[in-house]
Amino acid sequence: MNRLRIISYIVLTLLMIPILVLLYEGFGPMRTPVGYSLGVFRSIELTLLGSTIAVLIAVVLYTPLAYYFARNETTITQSIADIPASIPHPIVGIALLILVSPITPLGQFLISIGFDVFNTLLGYVVCLVIVSAPIYIKAMMPFFESMNRSAENYASGLGASQLRRFVSIVLPISGRGILSASLISLSRGISEYGSIAIIAYELLSRPFYGISPVSVLIVAEYESPNLGAAVTTSAVMICISFAIMIAFRLIQHPITRS
C-alpha cells in the first residue's frame, strides 16, 4: 500500500471539492441563462484578449530580464521585480491611479497626449502586465538555468557579449519555455481582480463598450440578487482555465507515440 499516494489523493480531493461543487451547481441546480449570455462571453473575450496582449508584451520586454537574472546573481534586483506579484494587487491599481492622475507631472503629461488608462483596454492591459510579468519571469528563470551552457561558454570564449549570446544562441531554442511560461502568465492575468477593479472596472471604449473583465463581472453578479449568474459564469470560467492548464501540461510533457 502506497500511503503517500493515498495521502496525496486525499489532500488533492480537499482542493477539488469546492471546484467540483461549483461545477455541479453552475451547470446543474443553479444554472441560469444569464451565466452564459452574450454579455458573459464578451466579458470572457475581453479577458482572454487583454491577458494575451499582456503576455505578448511580457515576452518581448521581460524574456531578456529573465535570462539576465538566470545568469547573474542579483538578489536585490530580483526582489524588486517580485514586488508587483507579492503585494496586494489593489495597491497596483492605487499606484497607477496616482501615477497617471493630474497630481503628478507624468500624469499631467500623459493626459495632455491623450494617454488614458481609466476604464480602457489600455489601462486593463497595463494592469495585467504589471501583475503577470513577475510570474512570467519566475517561470522563465528555471528554464534558462537548466539549459546546457556549453555553446554559450564557447561563444563567450570567442568574445561574444551576453546580449549576443542571448539573441543568437539561447533565444532560438527557448520556444517551448517561452510558451510554457506564457500560459502560466496568461492564467495569472485571467484571474486578476484587485488592480483592474480600480483601473478598468468597466471599459468605456469600443469594441468593448460597457463590458467588464470576467473577474469583475463575477463579483458584480455575486453582489446582485442573482447569485446563480455568478455561479454559472464561474463554472464556465473554470472549464476555460482547465483547458489552459491542460495545454500547459501538454507543452511541458508532450504525448509521444510508442
Q: How confident is the model at residue 253 (pLDDT cuts 50, 70, 90)?
A: low
Q: Three cell numbers at 36?
A: 452564459
The predicted-structure confidence for 24-59, as pLDDT tens digits, reads as follows 999 999 999 988 889 999 999 999 999 999 999 999
Average pLDDT over residues 88-104: 88
The predicted-structure confidence for 64-95, as pLDDT tens digits, reads as follows 999 999 988 778 888 888 888 788 889 999 99
DSSP 125-174: HHHHHHHHHHHHHHHHHHHHHTS--HHHHHHHHTT--HHHHIIIIIGGG-
Q: Three cell numbers at 142?
A: 528555471
Domains defined for the chain, CATH in brackets: 49-213 (1.10.3720.10)
Average pLDDT over residues 114-118: 83
119 φ/ψ sector (left φ>0, alpha ψ -120 to 50, else beta): left
| Position with higher pLDDT, 166 vs 253 | 166
Answer whether 131's CB lies under 8 Å from 89's CB: yes
Answer whether 139's CB lies under 8 Å from 58's CB: no
| Position with higher pLDDT, 113 vs 23 | 23
Query: Cα(117)–Cα(33) distance, rounded to whole angstroms?
Result: 32
The pLDDT assigned to 199 comes to 92
The pLDDT assigned to 258 comes to 43
pTM for this model (two decimals) = 0.88
Q: How confident is the model at residue 254 (pLDDT cuts 50, 70, 90)?
A: low
